[in-house]
Chains A and B, each alone.
Chain A
Amino acid sequence: MTNIFKSAQEMSSALVAKEVSAVDLANEHFDRIEKVDGDVHAFLHLDKEGALAQARDVDAKRAAGEKLSPLAGVPLALKDVLTQKGIPTTCGSKMLENWRPPYDSTVVTRLKAAGVVILGKTNMDEFAMGSSTENSAYGPTHNPWDLSRIPGGSGGGSSAALAAFEAPLAIGTDTGGSIRQPAAVTGTVGVKPTYGAVSRYGLVAFSSSLDQAGPCARTVLDTALLHEVIAGHDPKDSSSINAPVPSVVAAAKKLDVKGMKIGVIKELGGDGFQKGVSERFNEALEELVKAGAEIVEVSCPNFEYALAAYYLIAPSEASSNLARFDSMRYGLRVGDDGSHGAEEVMSLTRQAGFGKEVKRRIILGTYALSSGYYDAYYGSAQKVRTLIMRDYEAAFAKADVLVSPTAPTTAFKIGEKADDPVAMYLNDIATIPVNMAGIGGMSLPCGLASEDNLPVGFQIMTPAMKDDLMYQVGGTLEAALNSKWGSPLMSQAPALGAK
């Protein structure tokens, strides 16, 4: 009897009860990956040796009666944007094709310390720039619900791995929605914690003031369990929050929203949102009302500028963060044949090593920061950031949590928006304001859209440092929907690898 369809929490219980060993559990997942990843392409690299060594270690400790972390022995898929010592870390780019970092990211350090078994690295849009995982230099990832469709992005590999039962847990990173939007379109759960809750040390930077790593799983409780492993103060990250991590596991188990005020953001719905998306979203709201919450409508008038501001701030920071890929110290080098100087080799390497979207954003960011344009673009975008924070502040004065659909549409077809960057950017319209303000956001499944039978995501936003609230609301909503449907949404996912 296979364990792969269980939740991480259930796998943990089975491990504790010694119904399965960590080694067997890892092998079951490697078998599953072997079977389905040819179709899904969630992974860029598997670390069987390291994973099994970790699993053996956990088994040995458990046999010796050591006290272990709740997730010890549970497998995980790691987005290829976080460093793991000695393991390829490509960020989905040709630039880092053969790079094996000499150090662990703090997230990895904590996963290892907790005995989590890291199976491998997952596919992503190059340097986390994209909403579809089509921008990976190593080919797209396919949505397990419909292999002709995108799994979201940039963390499409992580979300697809979960939806394809290749791993019960995954790590994503979210700069403008890259955890939540993939979760939404794959019927999984993804959390972007408050900015600073999870260390960025070892997270290859896209946009430093927006990037945040977070937990991904198939259930709210599983994300909470993983959250407690990876969150917490890190002296290696100056923007790390130096305060206790909220008790998100307890919050996820509370199943109580009585008397809570849930604010629906007027601007994040209606026009531009797929009909099936709005329907499922509204039904989920009804479940929350049944559970005792009160729905209030709030307005965030400056959100209409959020997308524009984001597409100035993120590329600006990226243009600087990605400067270091110059072929001098690591990564790809092109044109070093004795006929080119260092400067030319830098330019030739960057031309060859970066994909189209990355170059587009580097040039856009270079423009927005350049003298003469700074005030109009980067400077103005930072002012918009202030306005968005003020909007949230006003909204949170009226509601405990805020909600919206996570993405305006369900998963689109691979290739459908590849040539229209502006249309592609619209995917992130509901997720971006969260990053701009640095607050917490979660996406959990709220059903399948009637027109295409594809998953729809429900987004919960909470004030900074109150991440426990989204777990409380998310856990309650998930329980209500599961009892309404009779089983979790993921049980409706199509079988894979049946060739």
Chain B
Amino acid sequence: MALKYDDVVAKYEPTLGLEVHVELNTNTKMFCGCSTEFGAEPNTQTCPVCLGLPGSLPVVNEVAIESAIKIGLALNCSIAPFSRFARKNYFYPDMPKDYQISQYDEPICVNGYLDVEIDTDEGVKVFRVEIERVHMEEDTGKSLHVGGATGRIHGAEYSLLDYNRAGIPLMEIVTKMVPGTGKYAPQVARAYVTELRDILRSLGVSDVKMEQGSLRCDANVSLSPMGSGKLGTRSETKNVNSLRSVERAIHGEMIRQGNRLENGERIIQETRHFLEESGETRPGRSKETAEDYRYFQEPDLVPVAPDAGWIEEIRKTLPEKPSIHRKRLQEQWSVPDKEMAAMVNAELLDTVEATVNLGADPTKARSWWLGEVSRLANEKDVAPTELMTPAQVAEIIALIAAGELTDKLARHVVEGVVNGEGTPAQVIEKRGLKVVSDDSALMSAIEAAIAAQPDTAERVRSGNIPAAGALIGAVMKATGGQADAARVRELLLNHLGQGN
């Protein structure tokens, strides 16, 4: 590749477009009463409707509409007083009716925006991502490809279909074209999806788990020569399954397109697939027939026409926006910008907040989660929240505050909890990790240390206070680190006539 990323952004201006599909966490599917519970045995959550059996008919889930309106309001959209479902016709085995019930020219929410903050060379900058529409549709089933390479579509001998996921309510959130992000395009894309995810989570409308597919992102990008004012041909990258991948996919695609343009090659408007391993994209299989979805109004459903009263009812239930919530927490906890950003980037803000809500000191909660727990999580390549719960961390912080654990002991407790040895209390019990707070036990260890190092003791007696360090170290060693070092020091200096 001739052009590097910096070269590309020096010559070309990117335009972004992001389509996010989010599965709602309603109890039932979009158009039938089947459960949406994740992870059930195959084809146990299906019925005539979501299997597309002849004669079956859809009926809209009321809560799905409310969720759509909530999302629209949170994204500053107008809620359409009249919206309708349409059929998007195309054949695919994982789609039971061979059409998807979706919304086409009459979506429920239109014209919103979401502001995201990016750390730029000139400091923190706000980029406004305008939202074109939020519409309701249904998810497809899941195929398992058998034979050939593991689970891959290519080379498979046959496929096995599970329709448990078919019909789960899906919201499609589509941005307008986002110009003017320049070299920050990948970060803007990531920040947008992150902020969107946080909003959806705060609304309680979705589990927003990218790894389980409940939030999925298609990332579009095009390049145009700097200052040309023309819009380039875009590609659409699918299968972008983590926040990091959103950033990498845009980054990789900009380099690919930049190099093609540089070589005088055309950009083809196509669907591409993100390759997790390399961070590159590969072209999707081109279709034999041109796409023609033959949209028309879904005759089995009637219009959705929420009245103003209903919308206002829903507006009242909206929680504080994550960005405002963050600002409020930062003030309450007096956290510097940089550390706030660290918590946000580590995706631990909610966890820290939960820990604080259980009575922990904000600074301590932050430092345990971002420090020791994160370090262990890194080693194990898992999320910190998979290792500990806010309640466990809060419990440990409380024990330190009560003087029952030292920082060092607490680290052992964390290690024990992470290794599955039980709750903090159980680990302390099993490993015998209590602070030795019994002065007489400490005194006998002090006397033993003095007896072992009489010269050192003499130097301390004669006023060389720093020399006490060696004796304190010996006491700590003897007590297996379970003594409170400050108390040992105090007792030792008193004993050697240096107390005050």
Contacts and interface: CB of A to CB of B under 8 A. Distances in A.
The answer to A–B direct touch (Cβ < 8 A) is yes
Interface of A: 82-83, 89, 91, 96, 99, 101-103, 105, 200-205, 207-209, 235-239, 316-317, 319-320, 323-326, 328-330, 338, 342-343, 346, 366, 369-371, 374, 378
B292 interface: yes
Q: Which of B52, B60, B161, B295 is most buried by chain A, counting CB atoms within 10 A of its CB?
A: B52
A208 B294 contact: no
A198 to B, nearest CB: 13
B99 interface: yes
Contacts of B99: 320, 323
B294 A370 contact: yes
Contacts of B52: 324, 329
Nearest to A328: B93
Interface string B16-33: 000000000000000000
Contact of A101 (B53, B91, B157, B292): B53
B155 to A, nearest CB: 12
B300 A102 contact: no
B339 to A, nearest CB: 53
B54 A83 contact: yes
Interface in B83-106: 87, 89, 91, 93, 96-99
27 contacts: A83-B53, A83-B54, A99-B54, A101-B48, A102-B48, A103-B48, A204-B54, A205-B54, A205-B300, A208-B299, A208-B300, A209-B299, A319-B89, A320-B294, A320-B296, A323-B97, A324-B97, A324-B98, A329-B52, A329-B96, A329-B161, A369-B295, A370-B294, A371-B294, A374-B294, A374-B296, A378-B296
Contacts of B93: 326, 328, 342
B179 interface: no
B57 interface: yes
A323 B91 contact: yes
Nearest to A338: B157
A239 B58 CA distance: 10
A371 B292 contact: yes
B301 interface: yes
B54 A101 contact: yes
A85 to B, nearest CB: 10
Contact of B57 (A99, A201, A317): A201
Contacts of A204: 54-55
Closest 3 CB pairs of A and B: A323-B98, A208-B299, A369-B294
B78 to A, nearest CB: 25
A237 B57 contact: yes
A170 B133 CA distance: 48
A324 B96 contact: yes
Given A102-B48, A329-B96, A346 B91 contact: yes
B120 interface: no
B301 A330 contact: no
A366 B294 contact: yes
B144 to A, nearest CB: 13
A97 B58 CA distance: 25
Nearest to A371: B292
Contacts of B296: 316-317, 320, 369, 374, 378
Contacts of A99: 54
Q: Which of B99, B300, B301 is most buried by chain A, counting CB atoms within 10 A of its CB?
A: B300
B426 interface: no
A235 B97 CA distance: 21
Contacts of A369: 89, 294-296
B318 interface: no
B56 A202 contact: yes
Interface string B58-92: 11100000000000000000000000000101010
Given A204-B55, A209-B299, A343 B294 contact: no
A238 B98 contact: no
B3 interface: no
Contacts of B294: 319-320, 366, 369-371, 374
A225 to B, nearest CB: 25
A238 B302 contact: yes
Given A323-B97, A366-B294, A205 B58 contact: no
Interface residues of B, number: 31
Contact of B54 (A96, A235, A239): A96
B54 A324 contact: yes
Given A323-B98, A324-B97, A205 B51 contact: no
Given A320-B87, A342-B93, A371-B294, A238 B300 contact: yes
A96 B54 CA distance: 10
B159 interface: yes
A103 B98 CA distance: 21
A309 to B, nearest CB: 14
A89 B98 CA distance: 20
Given A320-B296, A326-B93, A328-B93, A200 B57 contact: yes
A91 B57 contact: no
A23 B131 CA distance: 66
Given A238-B60, A370-B292, A205 B55 contact: yes
A81 to B, nearest CB: 8
Nearest to A327: B93
A436 to B, nearest CB: 13
Given A82-B55, A325-B54, A329-B53, 7 more contacts: A238-B57, A238-B301, A317-B299, A323-B89, A323-B91, A323-B98, A378-B296
B10 to A, nearest CB: 40
Nearest to B97: A324
Contact of A202 (B55, B98, B299): B55
B58 A238 contact: yes
Contacts of A325: 54
B55 A83 contact: yes
Interface in B273-326: 292, 294-296, 299-302
Contacts of B58: 238
A417 B149 CA distance: 55
A316 B296 CA distance: 9
A200 B93 CA distance: 25
Contacts of B53: 83, 101-103, 329-330
Contacts of A326: 91, 93, 98
Contacts of A103: 47-48, 53, 56
Contact of B51 (A209, A329, A342): A329
Contacts of B89: 319-320, 323, 369
A101 B54 CA distance: 8
Given A238-B300, A369-B294, A378-B296, A105 B87 contact: no
B54 A342 contact: no
A105 B55 contact: yes
Nearest to A203: B55
B477 to A, nearest CB: 70
A235 B302 contact: no
A282 to B, nearest CB: 38
Contacts of A366: 294
A111 B168 CA distance: 32
A386 B99 CA distance: 26
Nearest to A101: B53
B288 to A, nearest CB: 8
A236 B57 contact: yes
A239 B302 contact: yes
Contact of B161 (A200, A238, A328): A328
Nearest to A210: B299
A107 B83 CA distance: 30
A102 B89 CA distance: 26
A427 to B, nearest CB: 24
A235 B32 CA distance: 11
B105 to A, nearest CB: 11
B85 to A, nearest CB: 10
Nearest to B156: A341
Contacts of B87: 320
A342 B159 contact: yes
A358 to B, nearest CB: 14
